[in-house]
Amino acid sequence: MASQKYKAWSVVIMSTLAFTVCFMIWMMFAVIGIPIKQTLGLNETQFGLLIAMPVLTGSLIRLPLGMLTDKFGGRIVFFVIMISTVIPIYLISLCTEYWQYLVTGLFVGVAGGSFTVGIAYCARWFPKNQQGLAMGIFGAGNTGAAVTKLVAPLIVVAYGWTMVPQVYAVLMLVTAIAFWFFTFTDPSHVAGKSVTIREQLAVLKDPTVWKYCQYYSIVFGGYVALALWMTKYYISEYGFDLKTAALLAAAFSIPGGVLRALGGYFSDRFGAHTITWWVMLVSMVCLFVLSFPHAEFTIKTVTGPATFHVGLDATTFTIIMFTLGIAFAIGKASVFKYISDDYPRNIGVISGIVGLAGGMGGFLLPIMFGALVDLTGIRSSSFMLMFGIVWVSLMWMYWTEVRTLDKSAKKRKVADSLE
């Protein structure tokens, strides 16, 4: 009979693999959306809506899936999610009209809801001091975004874009079957079958939950949005072909997934607040630099006019994006460490709420990116928008956490001096 430790790590490994495949499929339109855009003659806003449609469903469904996970357990919910998306994935290859892609994208987006299920499923197999690491390892499945950027372009070039959803449908089916046979159900993890929906949703009144939603809308929502947008950005801004653009875009996606486990380890060791603060600070600096558009300006000097060029070359841009990807990866883990610390008894529903907010960020941002480009003609306007959102998160964190910690430290010093 398998030991509890074996079961725990088997659950984490298979859940991570399954989530990686789900994320590959969730991000599929980042690659196949480009030939679809060319075929249908879409503008930037329509393209943003196309690639964001799966994210919409995957976001909205996270809260109910979190509640179902708390009630019935993660194994059965995760399996049903994967099986339910196989046919819609395949149907994408048969679409010919814009509305058909939008509708099938909505059904495929259910795969994105697997995150909320898996994060609660994995966390409950480990003690509190290891939950950050367990959730971080599972969250490394975000690497699926990078895998899609590496694999899908090769399939597109060799067989055409319609082969991508066909291959992914088979991959999802095989993964779902393997997941079922190599994971376990522990009745003790099926918490609170008698808990009502009203009791579960009572946490929506907690302002702390909404603060964590704001954090996650950046580190996850921003990650999803940029993972979807970067391939197109490299093609439009620097003139690369699809394969090269997708490869360079993967430089942002890879650390955004792989290093999430490291973020979980750091959060266990140094605390969620400290890690999240530095994540937001580093992200704001990166986005500030990325916000500068390519520009030329002329000034008058004593020797005559002097013209200067401002803008990032492709190499510098990729290095900064890689750094931003590292920050987001660590931040995604640290935000969920907050949740496991503050809400250990209802991780599913809290992670559902926070995950919904993060996913909605991933849905809305690509549409806003496209709209800003159509309105301003400035491609770096997407980074300007994200810079402003990160600034809001930092200010919120400062007033609700940093100042509170400072006041507590001062009170302790006064108390110690009186003694």
- The least confident of 22-31, 129-138, 322-331 is 129-138
pLDDT at site 335: 86
Contact between 17 and 257 (Cβ < 8 Å): no
d(CA 246, CA 349): 35
Backbone angles phi, psi at 338, to 5 degrees: -50, -50
Contact between 356 and 115 (Cβ < 8 Å): no
**Domain 4-183+202-414 class in CATH:** mainly alpha
Q: Residue 387 pLDDT more than 80?
A: yes
Q: Which tokens go with 65?
A: 């899936």
d(CA 140, CA 152): 19
Give me the helix-helix angle, 347-376 and 62-72, nearest 10°: 170
pLDDT at site 415: 44
Per residue, what are the HEC states of 307-357? EEEECCCHHHHHHHHHHHHHHHHHHHHHHHHHHHHHCCCCHHHHHHHHHHH
Residues in the chain: 419
d(CA 257, CA 160): 27
pLDDT at site 419: 52
Contact between 148 and 372 (Cβ < 8 Å): no
Which one is predicted more confidently, 364 or 140? 364
Contact between 107 and 92 (Cβ < 8 Å): no
Q: Which tokens go with 32?
A: 């196949």
Q: Residue 182 pLDDT more than 80?
A: yes
Q: For 204-240, how does the pLDDT look when each residue is reduced to its tens digit (9 = 90+)?
A: 777 888 888 888 888 888 988 898 889 889 998 898 9
Q: Which tokens go with 91?
A: 């149907």
pLDDT at site 62: 82
Confidence of residue 414 (pLDDT cuts 50, 70, 90): very low
Contact between 258 and 322 (Cβ < 8 Å): no
Name the pTM for this structure: 0.73
Mean pLDDT of 181-202: 67
Domain boundaries, the chain: 4-183+202-414
- The least confident of 94-103, 279-288, 295-304 is 295-304
- The least confident of 18-22, 104-108, 122-126 is 122-126
